[in-house]
Amino acid sequence: MMTSGFKRDQSEILVPILNDLTEMILTLRNAFNRQNQSYLHETTKIQKRLAQDIEVAKKEAVGLSSSEKLVVRLQSILSHMELIQDAINELVDPLKKQIREGILFSNKGMMQTNFLFDHEAGIFRSLADIFLTENPILRDYVLEKIEDMSQKCIDFATDHEARLIEGLCLPQAAPVFLAILDSIRTISHHEHEIVRLLQEG
């Protein structure tokens, strides 16, 4: 049942943007795991394309519905997607520094970073499914996953502090890992707002 008023043409605007966000986060994951800056250059290319697509989508949103409420909601969702894109892009410089200087992460730091990247990509895909199906059960499930990611960032920050104290993590790795946590927290906030906007329908 369609509950929030999003039609097929609106999904066609939003889903490709989420697909690009998924590609961005997974390309950063490749850069991190393979320690290869070429993936960071690819992320920047995706970001530029995505920024243009979001601007076009904001303009197209006006003609998609006669309901001012739906148009405003769609434009708000696009604004949150734009801020998610900014949060992902802010990781390019920290990762570039980490790769350039050969800064090593502990095994647990590696595992936690991959967890965050992988699960964030999963949330983007699930949001795309929500726009296509408007399934309220899936929407509630994704909201739980978003809230879980926010808590994981808190837990991982505590773990990281303990590793630093125990000497299991290099101090040079701290700014990079904390930048990743900050980015994921920011992304989670905007994802939460997107789901909230959908719930208003």
Contacts of residue 123, defined as CB under 8 A and 6 or more positions apart, other chains included, come to: 142, 145, 146, 149, 191
User: What is the overall mean pLDDT for the chain?
Assistant: 92
Residue 2 lies in a domain: no
Residue range 121-129: mean pLDDT, rounded: 97
Comparison of pLDDT for 62 and 125, the residue scoring more:
125
DSSP state for residue 106 in the 8-state scheme:
P
In a domain, 3, yes or no: no
**Rounded to the nearest 10 degrees, what angle do helices 92-101 and 38-61 cross at?**
180
Output 59 or 181, whichever has higher pLDDT. 181
- Domain count for the chain, please give it: 1
SS3 state at 5 = coil
Residue 183, phi-psi category: left (phi > 0), alpha (psi -120 to 50), beta (remainder): alpha
* Contact residues for 157 (Cβ-Cβ < 8 A; gap 6+): 178, 181
Residue type at 197?
L
DSSP 36-77: -THHHHHHHHHHHHHHHHHHHHHHHHTTS-S-HHHHHHHHHH
Inside any domain, residue 1: no
Residue from 175, 201, 173, 9 nearest 102 by CA = 173
| Domain membership flag for residue 15 | yes
- Is the confidence at residue 152, as pLDDT, over 60? yes
pLDDT band for position 176 (50/70/90)? very high
- The one-letter amino acid at 40: L
CB hemisphere CA count around 92 (13 angstroms): 19
**Residue 8 pLDDT > 80, yes or no?**
no
- For 85, list phi and psi in degrees, rounded to 5: -60, -40
Q: Is the pLDDT of residue 154 over 50?
A: yes
The widest CA-to-CA distance across the chain, in whole angstroms, is 60
Whether 28 and 90 have beta carbons less than 8 Å apart is answered as: no
Nearest to 163 by CA among 113, 115, 108: 108
pLDDT band at 149 (very low <50, low <70, confident <90, very high): very high
Residue 3: the pLDDT is 46
In a domain, 49, yes or no: yes
Contact status, residue 120 vs residue 184, Cβ threshold 8 Å:
yes
Q: What would the mean pLDDT of 101-120 be, rounded to a whole number?
A: 96
| pLDDT tens-digit map of 20-62 | 999 999 999 999 999 999 999 999 999 999 999 999 998 888 8
Please report whether residue 134 resides in a domain. Answer: yes
Q: Are 158 and 181 in contact (CB under 8 A)?
A: no
pLDDT band at 64 (very low <50, low <70, confident <90, very high): confident
Q: What is the pLDDT of residue 169?
A: 86
Report the pLDDT averaged over residues 143-170. 93
Asked if residue 153 belongs to a domain, the reply is: yes
- Output the domain CATH number for residue 178: 1.20.58.220
Domain that holds residue 156: 8-199
pLDDT at 2: 41
